Structure 1
Amino acid sequence: MTVGQDGMPAGASGAWGSAGATRAPVLLIDGRSGSGKTSLAAAVAGALTDSTVVHMDDLYPGWDGLDEGSVLLTESVLRPLSAGLPAVWRRWDWHRSERAEAHVVDPSIPLVVEGCGALSRASARLAASSIWLDAPPPMREGRLSRRDGTVEWWPAWTVQEDAFIARERPDALADVVLDGGAASEEVLARALEALSAGVHGVTWDRWLAAR
């Protein structure tokens, strides 16, 4: 709808469990650039009866903003939702290099967040489920080249990814690690299996459309 760290591991579901029964679940999808996060998020959202999708690309304040975007997700989106309150965030306008229109996230609708920096030690505690996507560098570079036409930005961005991953270990925090190089249908099937099976006492079956 458009309107105008602590050090706990992922398994520490206290923050989620304390209000989980009164709000819809949150799924965090993380992975390096080109690993298939955006495609998986869209596919998962399409398999839910209702959902909101937030892209980390809309939160980063520019090319140097991976860490800031990750903090913004936790503080401005996930913390309000964890209290059962609507969350408000402002999209980053990459052409004007400034914040643009505001968006509201309804706590009663499942939220899917995708992008580098989505899964941190702080955000993991405020989500019901999390996925890390892995794919080999040559495949990721090929995808990025086809998508963007250039990968000149990739080396500098990779430095930020490396630092974030070394500090936060999202691959270790994730509830499930999927092969982003596999066929998209297989990746989606495994993701939905994980959501249906549930983790931290939360299952997505209520919101999963009949399959």
Structure 2
Amino acid sequence: MPPLSVPSQRATAADLASRIEQLRSTQPRTVVAISGYAGSGKSTLAKTLAATVEGCTRLRGDDFLDPTGSHRRSADWDGVERTRMRHEVLEPYRRGEPVRFRRFDWHTRELAPVEELPDAEVLLVDAIGILHPDLQGCFDLSIWVDVDLETAGVRGRQRDRSGGHDHDRLWTEVWLLNDRDFAARFDPRGQADLLYVPEDVS
């Protein structure tokens, strides 16, 4: 387990946008990791920042989830295809090269045809399990959506139910346990540069 550390500060969405703008002004390409427990609000924050910060594009974590691996118990979220994400997207993006990758298509249950990532100065990556040694050195800024595990699970189940999906068993038997074990092993909250608490979480 890595040594526990304490992120420097909590930040609002406006603070995060300002920090990303500062980074963008000093380098040609900036990669931002947005992570947190499943159900914490990673995607919502990523969408907010993508709409706020000029020159942004977003990479969805769901596009790099293995459907079998993401539905089984794992202490390091091995259902997240971190190696493919690193080699197909993050490394070529940081080198300033065109990025061609394949999303996982959840309708066909296989990888979709190759597509090109839009050219952008800032790449936002929102996903579980990315504040991990496999992706060390890939991010210029890392953000942890700071919602506790129990609350994140409640939010995630409510979101799924409202979308017509019954994933209660997966939440109870897999996803919450994976998040718990991953946090104990890798301390992603402590490794993040900044903490963000969604406005609808007290």
User: TM above 0.5, one fold?
Assistant: yes
Equivalenced residue count is 167
Give the unaligned 5+ runs of structure 1.
Answer: 1-8, 10-19, 187-211
Tell me which residue corresponds to 1:131.
143
Residues 1:44 and 2:84 aligned together: no
Report Cα offsets for 1:167-195 as digits up to 9, x if no partner.
43321221112224x338x9xxxxxxxxx
Q: Which residue of 1 aligns with 2:90?
A: 78
Counterpart of 2:191? 173
Do structure 1's residue 57 and structure 2's residue 49 form an aligned pair?
no
Higher-RCO chain (CA-CA 8 Å, sequence separation at least 6): 2
Q: Is the 8 A contact 1:63 1:157 kept in 2?
A: no
Aligned to 1:116, the other structure's residue is in SS state coil
Q: Does 1:99 align with 2:117?
A: no
Once the two structures are TM-superposed, the CA of residue 22 in structure 1 deviates from its matched residue by 5.6
Contact 1:61 1:98 in 2 (8 A): no
Deviates more, 1:50-59 or 1:150-159: 150-159
Find the counterpart in structure 2 of residue 6 from structure 1.
none
Partner of 2:175: 157
Identity %, equivalent residues = 27
TM-score normalised according to structure 2 size:
0.71
Residues of 1 paired with 2:33 and 2:121: CA distance?
A: 15
> What is the alpha-carbon distance in structure 1 between the residues aligned to residue 59 and residue 129 of structure 2?
12
2:169 partner letter = E
Structure 2 distance, partners of 1:21, 1:178, is 23
Which runs of 5 or more residues in structure 2 are unaligned? 6-24, 71-76
What do the CA deviations read for 1:22-61 (whole angstroms, capped 9, x no partner)? 6321110000111110000000101111211111111111
- Counterparts of 2:136 and 2:200, CA distance in 1: 27
Moved more, 92-101 or 28-37: 92-101
Q: Give the TM-score of the pair, scaled to structure 1.
A: 0.68
Q: In the alignment, does 2:157 pair up with 1:145? A: yes
**RMSD of the alignment, in Å?**
2.8
Structure 1 runs of 4+ with >6 Å offset: none
